[in-house]
A and B are shown apart, each in its own frame.
Chain A
Amino acid sequence: MTPRNITATVAHRLAILGYVVFALFPLYWLLKVSVTPNKLLYSEGIRMWPSQTTLDHFSFVLRHSDFPIFFKNSLIVAGSTAVIVTVLASLAGYAMSRFSFRGKYWIVTLMLLTQMFPLVMLVAPIFKMLSPLGLTNSLTGLVIVYTAFNVPFATFLMQSFFDGIPKDLEEAAMIDGATQFVAFRQIILPLTLPGLAATLGFVFTAAWSELLFSLMLISGNAAATFPVGLLSFVSKFSVDFGQMMAAGVMALVPACLFFLLIQRYLVQGLTAGAVKG
C-alpha cells in the first residue's frame, strides 16, 4: 500500500467510526441514564459512564405504572394492523402485478394520491366519523385507521415483489388444473416470503410508532398505545428522568430487535422501487 492509500483508508475508517458514534450516542445516553441511580444522576453532573448502575427504574416502571398496559395495547394494535395490511396488500399487489383490467389506472392514481396529501388533514374528520360508532378510545378504531393508512404503500411494495417472480410459474400450475387463486396461494406467496416479511415489519414499525392519530383518538390510559402512554408518563413523572428513560429503553428494544432481524429484507424491499419513510 502506498502512503496515500493508507491515509485514505484511515480517513474512511475514521469517518465511519464517527457515523457509528453519531447514530448510536443518543441511544447509548438513553440506556445510560436509565441504569444510573437517582442520587448519582443529579449529584455527579454529566458523566459518560455512571460509576454505579441499578435496575430500579425498570422495576418501578414495570410494577408501578401503566406501562405494561401500553405495551400490550401497542402489541395488539401494531400486530393486527401488520397482519391485516399484509393480507390485503398481497391480494391487491398480486392483482396489480398480474392482471390488466379496466380502472387499474385510477386505482394506482388513488393510491398515489393518498401518499401525497397531509394525513394531519384527516385528524378532525376521522374523529368525527369514528365517534358516533363508539370507535374513539378503542384499539379497533386505531387498527382500522392504521390499516387504511398503510395499505397503499404496502400494496406497491408487494406489487414490486410479485413483479420479480416469473409468470410461467403459475401458468404451469394452472395448466395442471389449479385455479388462479390456488396458484397464487400455494406457489407465488411462498416464493415472496422476503416481501411478506418486509411488508409485515414495515407496517408493524409504522403502527408501533404512530403518534398523531393515537393522541387524537385515545384518551386515558386503558386504551393508550406506547406513544400516548409514554408522553403522558413523561408529563406525569417529569422529574424522574431515570424512570422515563427506562420506559423509553423498553419501548425501543422491540422495535430495534425487529429492525435488526428484518433489516436486510427491508432495505431490499425499499430499494425495489418504493420510496417512503
Chain B
Amino acid sequence: MASYAAGNHSKPFRKRMADASAPYLYTAPALILIVTVMLVPLVLGISYAFRDIQLLKPFSGGFIGLDHFRTLADDQNFYRALRNTLWWTGWSVLLQFVFGLILALLLDKPFMGRGLVQALVFLPWAVPSFLAGLNWAWLFNPVVGPLPHWLYALGLMSAPDNILADPQLSMWGPIVANIWWGIPFFAITLLAALQSIPRDLYEAASIDGAGPFQRFVSITLPFLAPTIAITVLLRTVWISNFADLIIVMTNGGPADRSQIVASYIFTQAFKRLDFGYASAIALVLLVLLITYSLLIVALRQWLLNKD
C-alpha cells in the first residue's frame, strides 16, 4: 500500500527511492515479456497487413498499400469464413450457456456424492482442446465411432457417413465438440453465482407461495443476470477466435466449408506462408472484435444510465 511505500519522510533517501521503485520492479519482468512477445508482434502484424510478406520469397517485404484488402474484398472464402464464424460462435455460445445453466442448477441442489459428480462433469474441460477435437473426430468416424450408426438408426441420416466429410454438415462436428468441451466453464461460473444467492430469499418466497418456476424467474435469474452477461460476452469473443477444434477436426474442409476467420488466418500463414495476407485478415477480425466490444461497453453504459 502507498502508506508504507511513500509516507515516511524520515526515511533515508535511498530507502525512499527503493520504496518508490518497488511496484515497478515487481511488475517489470511480466511487462517486458508482454510488450516484446505480444505488443510488438501486434504492431508488426498490423504493418504486415499493408506489406507483401511471403516466407518463401526472399525479395518480398515491400509496402503495397491496400492491395491485400482489395483481394480480401473479392475473396469468397473469406466471406464464407465470416458467415461460418457467426454460425460457429452463435451456436457454440448459446448451447454451452443453456446446458451450462442446467448443469449449474442441477449441481446447486445438495445430494450425496456431489463433489465426485462435479469433478466428473467438469472433466471435459481438462481435456486438451486438440485431444477433444481428435476424440470427437473419431466418434464421428463410421469405422470406429458409434455416432454415424446411431444417427442412421434414428433415421436422421440416410447412411452411416462421416458428417465431417459432408460440406453441408461438417461445421456441426466442431460445434458439438466445442459444446461438450465448453459446458463446464459456464457451469463453473454460474454455479459460483448461484451459490452466492442468499438461501433465505428462496425460503421467504416459498412461504409466500411462489412455485419453483416463479422462484427461478423472480430470484435466480435477476441474481445471475450480471454473471450471465459478462460470461456470455467474454466467451463470444473467445470462441470466435478459437480455431483449435476446427483445425484438428476438419482443417476448414471440405473445400473451406467449415473454415472460420481464425482458422482461415492460420491456414494462410501456415499452409500458404502468405504472412501479409494472413495479417490483413487478422486486422479485419481485430477491427470486428473491437467494434463488438465497444458496442457492448456502450450498451452497458446505456443500461446503467437508464436506471
Chain A residues close to B by CB (< 8 Å): 12-13, 15-16, 19-20, 22-24, 26-27, 29-30, 33, 41-42, 46, 88-89, 91-92, 94-96, 98-101, 103-104, 107, 110-111, 114, 116-129, 144-145, 147-149, 151-152, 155, 167, 171, 174, 180-181, 205, 208-209, 211-212, 215-216, 226-227, 230-231, 234, 241, 244-245, 248, 251-252, 255-256, 258-260, 263, 267, 270-271, 275-277
Contacts and interface: CB of A to CB of B under 8 A. Distances in A.
Interface stretch (B68-76, B136-144, B166-174, B216-224): B136-144
Interface string B219-245: 000000000001100110110010110
A128 B44 contact: yes
A120 B241 contact: yes
Nearest to A146: B37
Contacts of B124: 23, 26-27
B37 A145 contact: yes
B247 A211 contact: yes
Contact of B31 (A29, A98, A107, A277): A107
6 contacts: A16-B106, A23-B122, A27-B135, A155-B30, A252-B127, A256-B126
A88 B29 contact: yes
A42 B134 contact: no
Instruction: Kindly name the residue among A216, A245, A271 whose own CB sees the greatest number of chain B CB atoms within 10 A.
Output: A271
What 7 A-B pairs have minimum CB-CB distances, sorted nearest first? A209-B128, A259-B126, A148-B37, A271-B192, A95-B26, A125-B41, A124-B275
A118 B126 contact: no
Interface string B17-51: 00100111011011101111111111011001000
Interface in B67-108: 102-103, 106-107
Contacts of A260: 119, 123, 126
B239 to A, nearest CB: 9
A115 to B, nearest CB: 8
B202 interface: no
Contact of B243 (A101, A129, A212): A212
Interface in B163-211: 180, 182-185, 188-189, 192
Contact of B234 (A89, A95, A251, A276): A276
Interface residues of B, number: 95
Contacts, number: 274
Contacts of A147: 33, 37
Interface in B240-286: 241, 243-244, 247-248, 262, 265-266, 269-270, 275, 278-279, 282-283, 285-286
Majority-rule SS of B interface residues: helix
Contacts of A29: 135, 138-139, 145-146
Given A101-B23, A270-B188, A277-B185, A123 B286 contact: no
Instruction: Kindly name the residue among B134, B143, B278, B279 whose own CB sees the greatest number of chain A CB atoms within 10 A.
Output: B134
Contacts of A211: 129-130, 244, 247-248
Contacts of A27: 123-124, 127, 135
A125 B44 contact: yes
Contacts of B248: 211, 231
Contacts of A234: 134
Contacts of B57: none
B46 to A, nearest CB: 9
Contact of A248 (B123, B125, B135, B290): B135
Nearest to A106: B31
Given A118-B262, A145-B37, 19 more contacts: A12-B109, A13-B111, A15-B106, A16-B107, A23-B122, A26-B136, A92-B30, A99-B23, A118-B282, A118-B285, A125-B42, A125-B48, A129-B40, A148-B33, A149-B38, A212-B266, A248-B131, A263-B122, A275-B189
A52 to B, nearest CB: 16
Contact of A46 (B23, B41, B102, B146): B146
Nearest to B5: A99
Contact of A126 (B1, B41, B144, B231): B41
